[in-house]
Amino acid sequence: MPDSNFAERSEEQVSGAKVIAQALKTQDVEYVFGIVGIPVTEIAIAAQQLGIKYIGMRNEQAACYAASAIGYLTGRPGVCLVVSGPGLIHALGGMANANVNCWPLLVIGGSPERNQETMGAFQEFPQVEACRLYTKFSARPSSIEAVPFVIEKAVRSSIYGRPGACYVDIPADFVNLQVNVSSIKHVERCMSPPISMAETSAVCTAASVIKNAKQPLLIIGKGAAYAHAEESIQKLVEQYKLPFLPTPMGKGVVPDNHPYCVGAARSRALQFADVIVLFGARLNWILHFGLPPRYQPDVKFIQVDICAEELGNNVKPAVTLLGDINAVTKQLLEEFDKTPWQYPPESKWWKTLREKMKSNEAASKELASRESLPMNYYTVFYHVQEQLPRDCFVVSEGANTMDIGRTVLQNYLPRHRLDAGTFGTMGVGLGFAIAAAMVAKDRSPGQRVICVEGDSAFGFSGMEVETICRYNLPIILLVVNNNGIYQGFDTDTWKEMLKFQDAASVVPPMCLLPNSHYEQVMTAFGGKGYFVKTPEELQKSLRQSLADTAKPSLINIMIEPQATRKTQVNTVAKQKARNASASPSPSKKYLPNRTPSIVHRGLSKPFLSLAV
Residues 533-551, mean pLDDT to the nearest whole number:
96
Question: Which pLDDT score is estimated for 3?
Answer: 53
Q: Are residues 215 and 293 in the same domain?
A: yes
Q: Report CA-CA distances (Å) from 310 to 110, 302, 314.
A: 34, 12, 9
Q: Are residues 294 and 377 in the same domain?
A: no
The whole model's pTM is what? 0.91
Residue 192 in domain = no
Residues 334-342, mean pLDDT to the nearest whole number:
93
Residue type, 609: S
C-alpha 470/C-alpha 604 separation (Å) is: 41
Instruction: Give 589's pLDDT tier (boundaries 50, 70, 90).
Output: very low
Question: Which pLDDT score is estimated for 244?
Answer: 98
Instruction: Give 340's pLDDT tier (boundaries 50, 70, 90).
Output: confident
Report pLDDT digits (tens) over 348-403. Answer: 999 999 999 999 999 999 999 988 899 999 999 999 999 999 999 999 999 899 99
Q: Which residues pair with 301 in a beta bridge?
A: 276
C-alpha 220/C-alpha 251 separation (Å) is: 8
The neighbour count for residue 2, using CB atoms within 10 Å, is 6
Question: Which pLDDT score is estimated for 265?
Answer: 97
Residue type, 278: L
Question: Which pLDDT score is estimated for 10?
Answer: 59
Residues 91-105: b if buried by 16+ CB within 10 A, e if exposed: bbbbbbbbbbbbbbb
Q: In what order do the strands lie in the sheet with 216-220?
A: 244-246, 216-220, 275-279, 300-305, 319-322
| In 547-602, beta strands by DSSP E | 553-558, 597-600
Residue 325 in domain = yes
pLDDT of 299 > 90? The answer is yes
Select from 87, 162, 81, 89 the least CA-distant residue to 129: 89
8 Å CB contact between 203 and 335: yes
Question: Which pLDDT score is estimated for 95?
Answer: 98
Q: What CATH number did the domain enclosing 240 receive?
A: 3.40.50.1220
pLDDT of 575 > 80? The answer is no
The three-point CA angle 345-221-254 to 5° equals: 45
Select from 370, 310, 9 the least CA-distant residue to 162: 310
Domain boundary among 558, 579, 606: 558
Handedness of CA 546, 548, 550, 556 (dihedral sign): negative
Report pLDDT digits (tens) over 189-223. Answer: 999 999 999 999 999 999 999 999 999 999 999 99
pLDDT of 569 > 80? The answer is no
Give me the DSSP letters along 284-332.
SGGGGGG-TTSS-TTPEEEEEES-GGGTTSSS--SEEEES-HHHHHHHH
pLDDT of 586 > 80? The answer is no
Question: Which pLDDT score is estimated for 204?
Answer: 98
Cα 230 from chain centre: 19
Length of the chain: 612
Question: Which pLDDT score is estimated for 564?
Answer: 74
Residue 573 in domain = no
Interhelix angle 400-408/348-368, rounded to 10 degrees, is 120
| In 58-149, beta strands by DSSP E | 78-82, 105-111, 137-139
Q: Are residues 397 and 297 in the same domain?
A: no
pLDDT of 580 > 80? The answer is no
C-alpha 225/C-alpha 310 separation (Å) is: 17
Q: Are residues 256 and 404 in the same domain?
A: no
Residue 528 in domain = yes
Residue 290 in domain = yes
Q: What CATH number did the domain enclosing 117 receive?
A: 3.40.50.970
3 state SS of 98: helix
In eight-state DSSP terms, residue 34 is: E
Q: Are residues 243 and 267 in the same domain?
A: yes
Question: Which pLDDT score is estimated for 544?
Answer: 97
pLDDT of 595 > 70? The answer is no
Residue 567 in domain = no
Pairing assessment for the beta strands 449-454 and 417-419 based on DSSP bridges: unpaired
Q: Are residues 396 and 334 in the same domain?
A: no
Question: Which pLDDT score is estimated for 170?
Answer: 98
Question: Which pLDDT score is estimated for 36?
Answer: 97
Question: Which pLDDT score is estimated for 502?
Answer: 78
pLDDT of 336 > 80? The answer is yes
The neighbour count for residue 538, using CB atoms within 10 Å, is 22
Report pLDDT digits (tens) over 235-287. Answer: 999 999 999 999 999 999 999 999 999 999 999 999 999 999 999 999 999 99
Contacts of 520 (CB under 8 A, 6+ apart): 529
| Alpha-carbon torsion, ordered 25, 29, 35, 37, to 10 deg | -20
Domain boundary among 321, 355, 389: 355
C-alpha 375/C-alpha 378 separation (Å) is: 8
Question: Which pLDDT score is estimated for 585?
Answer: 37
Residue 478 in domain = yes
Question: Which pLDDT score is estimated for 156?
Answer: 98
The mean predicted confidence, pLDDT, of the chain is 90
Instruction: Give 6's pLDDT tier (boundaries 50, 70, 90).
Output: very low
Residues 49-67, mean pLDDT to the nearest whole number:
98
Q: Are residues 129 and 259 in the same domain?
A: no
Q: Are residues 338 and 206 in the same domain?
A: yes
Question: Which pLDDT score is estimated for 185?
Answer: 84
pLDDT of 225 > 60? The answer is yes
Residue 361 in domain = no
Handedness of CA 227, 228, 229, 230 (dihedral sign): positive
**How many domains would you assign to the chain?**
3
8 Å CB contact between 437 and 449: yes
Domain boundary among 355, 387, 410: 355
Question: Which pLDDT score is estimated for 507?
Answer: 83
Q: Are residues 292 and 401 in the same domain?
A: no
Instruction: Give 122's pLDDT tier (boundaries 50, 70, 90).
Output: confident
Pairing assessment for the beta strands 275-279 and 300-305 based on DSSP bridges: parallel
pLDDT of 602 > 70? The answer is no
Residue type, 325: I
Identify the domain containing residue 406 by its residue range. 370-558
Q: Report CA-CA distances (Å) from 354 to 31, 364, 590.
A: 45, 15, 49
C-alpha 325/C-alpha 278 separation (Å) is: 10
Question: Which pLDDT score is estimated for 495?
Answer: 85
pLDDT of 578 > 60? The answer is no
| Alpha-carbon torsion, ordered 293, 295, 297, 301, to 10 deg | -150
C-alpha 488/C-alpha 238 separation (Å) is: 45
C-alpha 13/C-alpha 184 separation (Å) is: 10
Q: Are residues 229 and 296 in the same domain?
A: yes
Q: Are residues 247 and 112 in the same domain?
A: no
Q: Are residues 445 and 553 in the same domain?
A: yes
Instruction: Give 606's pLDDT tier (boundaries 50, 70, 90).
Output: very low
